[in-house]
């Protein structure tokens, strides 16, 4: 649902930005139009400059040549009306026909507010204070308000009126936008929910109607494909797990018979030494096959979450010491030197886990050392604390591992079925089970080469939230 809210915020942002841009564009256009108007002073300013340039002397009226040229350039005419006689005492040469030489107060009032002989007229007081200077602009140059009057309250409240008008316009645009996009938002909501449900493979069917019906159809098709793939994968996993379980069960009885007969032959003194040695090899190899089958069955259960977990508080020290003791007892030839490095108290550290699985994980690490170092080596079992939790480590100074093999060990998953054929051997089920057991306990496995040779494997168990606090 956050996606829909994000979409709505995005749409609102676009609307707001669009409104601001439209408003800015209008201001720019207004400025362009204003700049494009006729350059120069305003009409009232021209009238004032004309009055300032006109002076009465003993020899008559004088008018500055500069102002005369400016009026002539713009096609403006001017005249001076005496206050007492109301007659024109002076005018420019370009005075249009039909302009009277004598006026009444009413005439002056009329052309001051409007036009005279078709020309918009603007006035100013003469410098001597005894007359009126009137300037007329070409017809069509200015449009004059004949009866301009504004209510003072309207002018005083104009900022609020403008803001109210702008707000009303924005509200209207917003309502239009919401109404126009309501149908689209209703169509988007089920699409978003359908897309969010795709990763789980449990997406519901979306109604294929509305503006986005084509997209809804594609989402439904993708959902059907994912459901079919999930069902097929579940079917294959079930068949694989059943096959492994069946093989494990079927091989157990004949394997037990082979081991039993081999054990009898191993102890039969009537047989030759060579035959008894062969019987010993048969029993030992049969035991490896039995362990391999058990590992295969356990790995399958862990992978498909079929292994029941008996979670309890377990001492890692107790688990590690038990595995170390079993390893020493099994080393009848004394080829391996085992060192212990951990706290003496078995009660700490404690983790929540399945004790049998944890014992199996540490035992697999010790067996892995034995498998890769048949001639013997030094083995160190360690239980230690880490900043993020606790670790059980098994380290040896055996043949070690090459750098490229170590990288593969860290990065390549230990699948029970190899995708690359049989040319490249896997690391075996032992380390796979260690990783799976660590994973079901919320931990992880780390591999590290030991200098000058050897390998260190750590199973790290993270602290619980209560322990962190």
Which residue is associated with the tokens 């079917």? 235
Bridge partners (DSSP) of residue 133 are: 80, 124
In 316-432, the DSSP E strands lie at 336-341, 350-354, 377-385, 389-396
Q: Would you list the domain boundaries of the chain?
A: 2-37+152-189, 43-136, 237-303, 311-416+425-468
Bridge partners (DSSP) of residue 136 are: 77, 121
Contact 129, 56 (CB under 8 A): no
pLDDT of residue 104: 93
Which DSSP category does 342 fall into? S
Which residue is associated with the tokens 């594609």? 218
Task: Give the residue from 107, 62, 69 showing the smallest Cα distance to 89.
Answer: 62
- Residues contacting 100, CB < 8 A, separation 6+: 88, 107
Pairing of strands 377-385, 336-341: parallel
pLDDT of residue 424: 44
Residue 95, burial from CB neighbour count under 10 angstroms (0-12, 13-18, 19+): middle
Q: Where are the alpha helices (DSSP H) in 158-309?
A: 158-197, 213-267, 273-303
Task: Give the residue from 88, 83, 89, 85 showing the smallest Cα distance to 130.
Answer: 83
How many angstroms separate the Cα of 128 from the Cα of each of 50, 80, 83, 102, 387? 13, 11, 11, 20, 100
Contact 74, 40 (CB under 8 A): yes
Pairing of strands 444-449, 455-462: antiparallel
Which DSSP category does 187 fall into? H
Class at the top of the CATH hierarchy for domain 311-416+425-468: alpha beta
Task: Give the residue from 403, 394, 407 showing the smallest Cα distance to 460.
Answer: 394
Residue 217: alpha-carbon gap to chain centroid: 26
Which DSSP category does 352 fall into? E
pLDDT of residue 421: 45
How many angstroms separate the Cα of 308 from the Cα of each of 352, 370, 460? 15, 29, 22
User: Taking the model in full, what pTM does it have?
Assistant: 0.48
| DSSP reduced 3-state for 111 | helix
Q: Residue 384 is encoded by which pair of tokens?
A: 């230690």
Task: Give the residue from 162, 112, 103 showing the smallest Cα distance to 136.
Answer: 112
Give me the phi and psi of 89, to 5 degrees please.
Answer: -95, -20
pLDDT of residue 309: 76
What whole-number distance in Å separates Cα of residue 121 and Cα of residue 196? Answer: 74
How many angstroms separate the Cα of 28 from the Cα of each of 23, 33, 317? 9, 9, 80
Task: Give the residue from 267, 412, 439 showing the smallest Cα distance to 354.
Answer: 439
100: left (phi over 0), alpha (psi -120 to 50) or beta: beta
For domain 237-303, give the fold: Helix Hairpins (1.10.287)
pLDDT in tens, the chain (469 residues): 455 566 667 777 777 788 788 888 888 888 887 776 655 678 999 999 999 999 988 888 899 989 999 999 999 999 999 999 999 999 998 888 889 999 999 999 989 988 998 899 999 999 888 899 999 999 888 888 767 677 888 888 888 888 888 888 888 878 877 776 676 666 677 777 777 777 766 666 777 776 667 777 787 888 788 778 788 877 777 776 677 677 776 787 788 888 888 888 888 888 888 988 888 888 888 877 877 777 777 776 666 666 677 888 888 888 999 999 988 988 878 899 999 887 765 555 688 888 888 988 899 899 889 888 888 999 999 998 877 788 999 999 998 878 887 777 766 655 444 444 444 444 456 777 888 888 888 889 888 888 888 999 999 988 765 555 4
Task: Give the residue from 403, 404, 402, 339 showing the smallest Cα distance to 366.
Answer: 339
């Amino acid at each position: 649902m956050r996606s829909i809210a994000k979409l709505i915020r995005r749409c609102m942002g676009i609307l707001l930005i669009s409104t601001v841009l439209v408003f800015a564009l209008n201001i720019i256009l207004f400025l362009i139009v204003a700049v494009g108007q006729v350059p120069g002073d305003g009409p009232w300013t021209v009238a004032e400059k004309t009055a300032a340039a006109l002076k009465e002397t003993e020899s008559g009226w004088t008018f500055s040549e500069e102002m005369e040229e400016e009026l002539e350039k713009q096609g403006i005419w001017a005249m001076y009306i005496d206050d007492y006689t109301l007659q024109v005492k002076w005018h420019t040469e370009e005075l249009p026909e039909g302009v009277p030489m004598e006026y009444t107060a009413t005439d002056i009032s009329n052309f001051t507010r409007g036009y005279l002989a078709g020309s918009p007229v603007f006035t100013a007081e003469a410098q001597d204070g005894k007359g009126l200077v009137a300037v007329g602009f070409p017809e069509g140059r200015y449009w004059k308000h004949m009866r301009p009057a504004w209510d003072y309250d309207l002018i005083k409240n104009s900022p609020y009126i403008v803001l109210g008008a702008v707000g009303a316009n924005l509200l209207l645009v917003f309502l239009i936008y919401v109404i126009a996009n309501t149908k689209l938002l209703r169509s988007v909501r089920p699409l978003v929910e359908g897309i969010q449900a795709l990763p789980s493979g449990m997406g519901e069917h979306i109604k294929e109607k509305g503006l986005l019906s084509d997209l809804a159809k594609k989402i439904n098709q993708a959902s059907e494909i994912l459901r079919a793939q999930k069902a097929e994968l579940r079917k294959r996993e079930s068949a694989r797990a059943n096959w492994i379980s069946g093989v494990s069960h079927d091989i157990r009885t004949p394997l037990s018979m082979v081991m039993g007969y081999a054990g009898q032959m191993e102890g039969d003194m009537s047989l030759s030494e060579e035959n008894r040695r062969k019987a010993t090899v048969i029993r030992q190899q049969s035991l490896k096959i039995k362990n391999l089958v058990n590992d295969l069955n356990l790995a399958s259960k862990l992978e498909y979450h079929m292994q029941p977990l008996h979670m309890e508080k377990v001492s890692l020290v107790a688990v590690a010491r038990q595995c170390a003791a079993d390893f020493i007892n099994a080393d009848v030839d004394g080829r391996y030197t085992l060192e212990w490095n951990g706290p003496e108290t078995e009660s700490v550290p404690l983790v929540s886990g399945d004790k049998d699985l944890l014992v199996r994980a540490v035992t697999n690490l010790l067996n892995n050392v034995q498998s890769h170092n048949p001639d013997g080596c030094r083995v160190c079992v360690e239980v230690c604390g880490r900043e993020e939790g606790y670790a059980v480590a098994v380290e040896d100074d055996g043949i070690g591992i090459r750098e490229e093999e170590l990288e593969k060990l860290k990065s390549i998953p230990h699948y029970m079925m190899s995708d690359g054929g049989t040319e490249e051997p896997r690391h075996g089920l032992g380390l796979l089970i260690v990783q799976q057991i660590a994973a079901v306990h919320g931990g992880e496995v780390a591999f590290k080469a030991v200098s000058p040779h050897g390998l260190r494997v750590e199973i790290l168990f993270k602290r619980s939230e209560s322990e962190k606090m």
